[in-house]
Amino acid sequence: MTTKKAGGLADVIAGQTAISTVGKEGKGLTYRGFTIEDLAEHGSFEETAYLLLRGNLPNDAELQLYKKKLISLRHLPAGLTVILEQLPPKTHPMDVLRTGISALGAYEPEDGEYGPLSIADRLMACSASILLYWHHYHTSGIRIDTATSNSSIAGHFLQLLHGSEPIELYEKALDASLVLYAEHEFNASTFAARVTASTLSDFYSAVTTGIGTLRGSLHGGANEAAMSLIEQFTCPDEAEAGILNKLGNKQLIMGFGHRVYSNRDPRSDIIKNWSRKINEEAGDMALFDISERIEGVMQREKGLFANLDFYSASAYRRLGIPTAFFTPIFVISRISGWSSHIIEQRASNRIIRPNADYIGPDRRSWLPIDQRP
């Protein structure tokens, strides 16, 4: 492990991974050697998850079997649905997922029957079921059947959310976003999950650690913040004036720049294209046009590029997804990456315990309580 003084561990190499490259000169973003462009254009989230977890892309027979397996894992234990019903209606959806996945670990603990790969598949398959069972119960009092026959996790999510088969273009757009969000090397939530795994804790604890870390607005919550920003404006001109005013007041504009990319986020152009497609198909470009104007202002005024979270916001809103569900979708996808890292950490484990530079007071003398100032 390399040690280096840097705020937030910037530029510190904290370990090795064979799972992805992020921001490496000449390599871009790759999963197991495949570029994010190829995976998003030619593949599916299920293929991507298989690749991340098992090391290679599946052939057709393997992919079909894998999809059937994931479809079979969408149900929820009866006890878990009772827990979801007891959560308050105003619970943040990220807390619903964190609690639901933690509870599932009590019903299906990691042991000889439930191993790492089977747990990873189970969590990817049923996370949407956990979230949307809770959602429908508390918004309409309906106990939904969480089993659907849709062949993709993206389609399963949209079908549970809206109660009908999704438009194919919409399903493909969400599927592409799941590919883009699946993995990103030692980001905050993945590193946190690896720290938990390094203590030899159980798989569910490591995943819930990742969820708790992702919940923050400087990480996964950025897509929610981006949507909150975009919907403040009714037209591009109003957006430009508003952003210039915020910049003048030194306000932080979420959805721009990235910790590990200096010139562009390779995922941004892909999700932007999908946002354009589905907004054009809907015949309403207002959100996209406002987003594009904000992007232009940020590039012109601050030299900052849009990251994945920014255009994910207008894409998800067009798909009819509530803003509070944006980060949970990130979870559904990133479980594939977290799980791959947990497995990798365990394969060559050493507890992650860095040192710190002490900047407190020098040694002091103890004073009896009646002599203290």
Beta bridge partners of 21: 30
| Rounded (to 5) percent helix, strand, coil in the chain | 60, 5, 35
Q: Are strands 28-31 and 20-24 parallel, antiparallel or unpaired?
A: antiparallel
95, 219, 269, 289: the catalytic one is: 219
Distance between CA atoms of residues 314 and 297, nearest Å: 17
Q: Is 38 a catalytic residue?
A: no
Question: Which of 181, 140, 148 minimizes the C-alpha distance to 48?
Answer: 181
The H or E element containing residue 221 is none
Q: Is 136 a catalytic residue?
A: no
How far CA 193 is from CA of 13, 115, 342, in Å, comes to 17, 17, 7
Distance between CA atoms of residues 183 and 21, nearest Å: 10
Amino acid type, 198: S
Question: Which of 306, 267, 337 minimizes the C-alpha distance to 37?
Answer: 267
Q: Is 219 a catalytic residue?
A: yes
Residues 6+ positions from 90 with CB-CB distance below 8 Å: none
What are the tokens at 83? Answer: 């827990």
What are the tokens at 373? Answer: 């100032």
270, burial (CB in 10 Å: exposed 0-12, middle 13-18, buried 19+)? buried
Buried b (16+ CB within 10 A) or exposed e, 95-134: ebbbbbbebbbeebebeeebebeebbbbbbbbbbbbbbbb
121, 202, 265, 309: the catalytic one is: 309
135, 156, 184, 258: the catalytic one is: 258
Q: Where are the alpha helices (DSSP H) in 109-152?
A: 116-140
Q: Supply the Cα-derived Rg of the chain in whole angstroms.
A: 22
Amino acid type, 62: E
Residues tagged active-site: 219, 258, 309
